[in-house]
Amino acid sequence: FVPHSFKKESCLEEADINELKELVVEKHRVILETTYRSLGVYTNFGYSVIAGSDVRDWSVYEQAQLPDLRLPVKTFSQLLLLAQKNAQLVDTLLSKKRKTIISASPYKGVSIALPIYQDINILFGQKGTGKTKILKSIEQYYKSQSVSCSSYYGSERDESYKEFEDTSAIPVSADAFDIDDCSKEFLNLKNWKDTVPCLFREYSDHCETEGLNKAKKRLLITQTTLLSKLSVDTTVANDYKNVSSSVKAIKDFLNRQPALGTADLDLFLTLLQKVEESAYKAYLENWRSSEAVKLTNNLIRGIRKQADRCTNTKSRPNGTGFEDFVSSRIALYQAANKIASSLSVPESTSNTEFFGSIEGKGNLYLRTKHRFICSESYPREFPNKKTRLQEAAKLISEIRKCFLNKEIGEKLLSFNEICTDYSIHDLTPFIGVRIETTFEDGTPYSPSSGEKGILLLQHHLGLPSDIYILDEPEIGMGNSFIKSSVIPEIMKLAESGKTVIIATHNANIAVLTLPYMSIFREHSDGNYRTYTGNPFSDRLVNIDEANDEKSWTSESMHTLEGGKEAFYGRKSIYES
């Protein structure tokens, strides 16, 4: 007999329902209609109740169906036995579910054998009875069996949230901005030397001494103009470097995984060697030409110097040196400008991942962002070196601005000292990485401690896993969220064949999930006791002493609700 509600409103007065109970001989046949909000209250008071059967249209009542039952009841007679909380039937139905006996540890050196169903398992009891350690030992067991396990510990939510903001495993490079790393420019600044233009006095000295020694005039090499500088072609050098590394990589691959027959392999390796030799020959020719110019000019300078010393004269300067001076300063500017311009590139978002939803606020995302050091940079982006890196960035900007000034040497020296102290060879050390929580439009958001718990719980429940372990998931969360979001998700996991193990002090979780296994931890008289059972049979049995039984209803009401008085208070509130 089900006294239905109509659109959530009771259709019968309480006196009518009481009269129905009196008329029905087998009281368990009367099953009251209730809502999920008050289900736990009625259940713990021993009522047989059903949720989700309220009528919406009496004209099609015959087509309506009752909600699914948590236990696999097959016949009407089994339903009646279940309504009577028949222990034998409950055990029979539960035996159809897969069960694993796990040795759990509430304390060091203590082990207890716990039955864990491939469904919902609730662990509750007094504080300080080792529930968290039991969960962690169960988690360790599953991981040792190579079973995928997703775990959430409510008391550790702030620390767990920091793990999602951890960037230590994220690669850092200029590739995040699609720009060059400026390693060549950093090397140019490190090796840069100023070129001083020729002094006017050197021309004056040459003119005054030019006719003093006829023998020197016959030494024509002293009047020879220096050869134009010829630097090594970096393109040729890079070609050889790239070809050499590629050939080595191909050879290593072929050694690990032979992909050609002997004859083809020999021919292929021969061709590779020819390609590498050709690239090396081009590089060597270019290098020889550059070194030959240097050697010739050094020889001319040496002869001039010796001739000047022996004849007490001054050879004509090779040139004003102004071209070299300007070229050197322009090269300095180009290197500093490229680095400074790169440091001004806007931040880049390399990855966006959905994190969860906050009721009334919307969806939140985790965005991985790269940015060059700036005034808004966080210390965590540049541990122990933020100040010095900002100083280096400021110096490179100043070098770009005053590259023609005489004090440029001091600024460059300070910049290179920082680079040496922090092993800076390219842009990489100037790049900071952070993971930011934002709304869909990119607006940053800093969740409260409770909201962090909500996001983490949503994340862990959404992970593909075989085992889900939740320790006090209710911490920092309202009952409305627990009932509307957490419990339905837990029920879905159970329906899909997942194992869910929850330690909780929350009555809604412990009751509304209708767990296949309830584990109760008690401490009294200086002793710890463990009871196992379920709400279907309303029994909790001591795992060490079969004759020691407790009522699931009584213990859950006492432990989860704060006593009978508080339970009655909730009952009156819900009924009103």
Inter-residue contact 455 to 152 (CB < 8 Å)? no
Beta bridge partners of 162: none
Q: CA separation (Å) from 124 to 84, 91, 235, 472, 509?
A: 25, 21, 71, 10, 11
pLDDT digits (tens, 9 = 90+) for 461-496: 999 999 999 999 998 888 778 888 899 999 999 999
pLDDT (tens digit, 9 = 90+) per residue, 500-512?
999 998 888 888 8
Q: Going residue by residue through the chain (576 aa), what tens digit of pLDDT does each one get?
A: 888 777 767 778 888 888 888 898 888 888 887 766 666 666 666 677 777 666 777 788 777 777 777 787 888 887 888 888 777 887 887 778 889 999 999 998 899 999 999 999 999 998 889 999 999 999 999 999 999 999 999 999 999 999 999 998 999 999 999 999 999 999 999 999 888 887 888 778 777 777 766 666 666 666 777 777 666 567 888 888 889 999 999 988 888 887 788 888 889 889 999 999 999 999 898 888 888 888 888 888 888 888 777 887 887 777 777 888 888 899 999 999 999 999 999 999 989 999 999 888 999 999 999 999 999 999 889 987 899 999 999 999 999 999 888 888 899 999 999 999 999 999 999 999 999 999 999 999 999 988 999 999 999 999 999 999 999 999 888 877 888 889 999 999 999 999 999 999 888 888 888 899 999 999 988 899 999 998 888 889 999 999 999 988 888 877 775 445 444 444 444 444
pLDDT of residue 55: 72
As a whole number of angstroms, the distance between CA 539 and CA 40 comes to 16
Give me the phi and psi of 441, to 5 degrees please.
-85, 0
CA nearest neighbour of 493 among 120, 154, 153, 141 = 120
pLDDT at 345: 95
Q: How many CB atoms lie within 10 A of CB 130?
A: 22
Backbone angles phi, psi at 457, to 5 degrees: -65, -45
Judge residue 545's burial from the number of C-beta atoms within 10 Å of its C-beta, 0-12 exposed, 13-18 middle, 19 or more buried: exposed
Residue 116: exposure state from Cβ atoms within 10 A (0-12, 13-18, ≥19): buried
